[in-house]
């Protein structure tokens, strides 16, 4: 682990500590942060196995930072519009006629956009017979789609054991029956954008 990677981890630890101060609802917050712990474990594991590039490591960290912030506000209540209005005098929600909090959409979009390089490096090491950029890129996009669907199923399964109010706090559907579908779509779009713009070296591991 070099200095850039340790700095990324330090920033994330500080963010978790701050986010843990009076979250909106502790049970849902802890469930979200369980995901943070699992993802940090995966980051350490694959960095140890594959020596992740600084770019894939930092982009992964940025995604976790966005997730940690969202967890504090239960995703549905991140006051991004208030922040934008305070800084720029611009009402983002009114401009786009948004009737719901859109921060959760950003997180799912960021999942595909920012984690694509991480997945690419892993898959290029695992799928050596495919050592061709286009094929590995396609598998990465398919992985983003499949893992997004799996996450939505896990959310649904967890919500089955909750009260309606707790389930809403955790899932953050905000009354949108197509919430899961749109989340999966945005993750896919994010991964496609990165696939078009980003061509890392194939792993030699």
CB-CB contact of 12 with 35 (8 Å): no
Q: Map out the domains of the chain as residue ranges.
A: 3-77+98-197
For residue 203, the tally of other CB atoms under 10 A from its CB is 19
pLDDT at 9: 98
The pLDDT confidence band at residue 160, using thresholds 50, 70 and 90, is confident
| Mean pLDDT value across residues 5-11 | 98
User: Which has the higher per-residue pLDDT, 167 or 32?
Assistant: 32
| Mean pLDDT value across residues 81-110 | 94
In three-state secondary structure terms, 130 is helix
Tokens of 161: 């054991």
Query: Is the whole-model pTM more than 0.85?
Result: yes
Nearest residue to 107 via CA among 72, 146, 142: 72
């Amino acid at each position: 682990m070099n200095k850039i990677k340790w700095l990324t981890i330090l920033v994330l630890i500080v963010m978790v500590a701050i986010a843990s101060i009076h979250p909106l609802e502790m049970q849902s917050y802890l469930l979200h942060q369980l995901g943070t712990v699992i993802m940090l474990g995966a980051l350490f594991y694959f960095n140890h196995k594959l020596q992740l590039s600084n770019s894939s490591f930092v982009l992964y960290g940025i995604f976790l930072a966005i997730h940690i912030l969202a967890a504090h506000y239960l995703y549905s209540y991140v006051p991004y519009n208030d922040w934008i209005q305070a800084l720029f005098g611009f009402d983002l929600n009114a401009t786009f006629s948004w009737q719901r909090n859109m921060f959760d959409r950003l997180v799912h979009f960021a999942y595909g956009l920012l984690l694509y390089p991480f997945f690419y490096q892993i898959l290029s090491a695992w799928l050596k017979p495919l050592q061709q950029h286009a094929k590995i890129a396609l598998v990465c996009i398919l992985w983003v789609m499949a893992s997004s669907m799996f996450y939505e199923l896990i959310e649904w399964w967890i919500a089955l054991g909750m009260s309606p109010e707790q389930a809403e706090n955790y899932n953050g559907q905000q009354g949108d029956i197509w919430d899961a579908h749109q989340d999966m779509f945005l993750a896919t779009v994010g991964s496609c954008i990165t696939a078009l713009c980003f061509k890392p070296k194939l792993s030699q591991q």
